[in-house]
Amino acid sequence: VWTTTNVVDEQVAAIREQVGSARAICGLSGGVDSAVAAALVQKAIGDQLTCVYVDHGLMRKGETEQVEKDFVAATGVQLKVVDASERFLKALAGVSDPEQKRKIIGREFIRVFEQAQAEIVAESGAAGEPVKFLVQGTLYPDIVESGGGTGTANIKSHHNVGGLPEDLEFELIEPLRQLFKDEVRAVGAELGLPDEIVQRQPFPGPGLGIRIVGEVTKERLDLLREADAIAREELTAAGLDREIWQCPVVLLADVRSVGVQGDGRSYGHPVVLRPVSSEDAMTADWTRMPYDVLARISTRITNEVAEVNRVVLDVTSKPPGTIEWE
Ligand code: XMP
């Protein structure tokens, strides 16, 4: 029988056996999946686990602080924060192709982990056990959609499945790979994680890097971060966080349109609001959200983010659209 208690007990036992006295590292993305995977592995092996948070510069506003403070407060986990934003920006320079971006971000993630591993080993001294394992919050839908296992066509490479390099140094621990999102949330609650973490809306590992259609630059990231923060603020204020599965804000960086802002002509970029309703992200419908909330978001973004002069609404279901634009 499937119960969250059974899942936790089984996984804890399996992880203990797999890891033995070795050490593991876990990448935290700020999302539900990696947080629950980390909490599960921590329950199994305690301080043999060190979490690594890679700040790739593609995070949303406030996200890094949330991981550094809230997650550590909730779990007591050992955390190493790596600021790798320059490295990611450099690797992404000149790249517009979505799959190429995903592969680059996936590859850089692993390289940064490998460095972190070396540092963690060095810090543990000569007597330290080797870091042999990498914990990942891969879910069942991630595997299906990356074409793993079922023969489905490859839709997009989730950074934590299709994007892994072939010369990976670690053995993987993926305790959530048979679960759907709602089950992961239940497991997180069972592990005592607070609602702010467990009920968080999904956010993709490659972050804002796949929400800029076009090349990723620091200026564009800053702009999108502001627009995204405004949308999130207004959705929360309207009490829509639970009703909406997630609401990507997408910057069409290579598109410009003419508008009128303040005293004169503007020639700025559009952002797309992509509010979706879903059970498991495998299929989704666009959320019929209140017009007045859409109006507030639109007014605020065009007033507060100077380079954005148009806000448009994505009214496409999945399929045929995916949730993210890339
Ligand atoms: P799509 O765009 O495929 O997204 O309809 C389905 C769900 O997955 C999230 N997503 C990702 N999550 N790594 C992740 O951890 C990824 O590379 C990734 N790509 C998409 C997306 O936000 C949605 O919830």
Where in the sequence is the domain holding 231, given as residue range(s)? 211-313
What b/e readout covers 288-304, taking b as 16+ CB neighbours within 10 angstroms? ebeeebbebbbebbbee
What is the pLDDT at residue 76?
A: 85
34, HSE (Cβ side, Cα atoms, 13 Å): 24
Q: What residue ranges of the chain have pLDDT lower than 70?
A: 124-127, 147-155, 158-168
Q: Are residues 108 and 20 in the same domain?
A: yes
Q: Is 106 in the pocket of ligand 1 (CB under 6 A)?
A: no
| Gap between the terminal Cα atoms of the chain | 38
Residue 305 belongs to a domain with what CATH number? 3.30.300.10
pLDDT at residue number 152: 42
For residue range 148-171, what is the model confidence (pLDDT) as tens digits?
544 445 667 765 544 455 666 789
Quick one: 228 and 175 in the same domain?
no
CA of 17 to the centre of ligand 1 (A): 31
CATH of residue 182: 3.40.50.620
Query: Do 71 and 197 form a contact (C-beta atoms < 8 A)?
Result: yes
**Phi, psi values for residue 153, rounded to 5°:** -65, 150
Regarding whether 229 and 157 lie in a shared domain, the answer is no
Q: What is the pLDDT of residues 72-116, one digit of tens each?
A: 888 889 999 999 999 999 999 999 999 999 999 999 988 997 888
Closest approach atom of ligand 1 to CA 210:
19
Together in a domain, 217 and 191: no
* Domain end point (choices 139, 170, 198): 198
Q: Pick the atom of ligand 1 nearest to 203's CA.
A: 22
Is residue 183 domain-resident? yes
* pTM over the 0.90 mark: no
By alpha-carbon position, which residue is closest to atom 17 of ligand 1?
A: 158
User: Is the beta carbon of 323 within 6 A of some atom in ligand 1?
Assistant: yes
pLDDT at site 222: 98
Distance 94 CA to ligand 1 centre (A): 23
pLDDT for the residue numbered 150: 42
Nearest to 189 by CA among 13, 36, 2, 68: 36
> For residue 166, what pLDDT is reported?
60
Residues 97 and 159 in one domain: yes
Rounded to an integer, what distance in angstroms lies between the CA atom of residue 94 and that of residue 209?
13
The ipTM of this complex is 0.99
pLDDT at 75: 84
Which residue in 162, 288, 296 sits closest to 234, CA to CA? 296
Q: Check if the beta carbon of residue 178 is closer than 8 Å to that of residue 138.
A: no
Residue to mutate (ligand 1; options 323, 325, 326; most atoms within 8 A of CB): 323
Final residue in a domain of this structure, among 135, 164, 198: 198
State the DSSP code for 206.
T
Domain count, the chain: 2
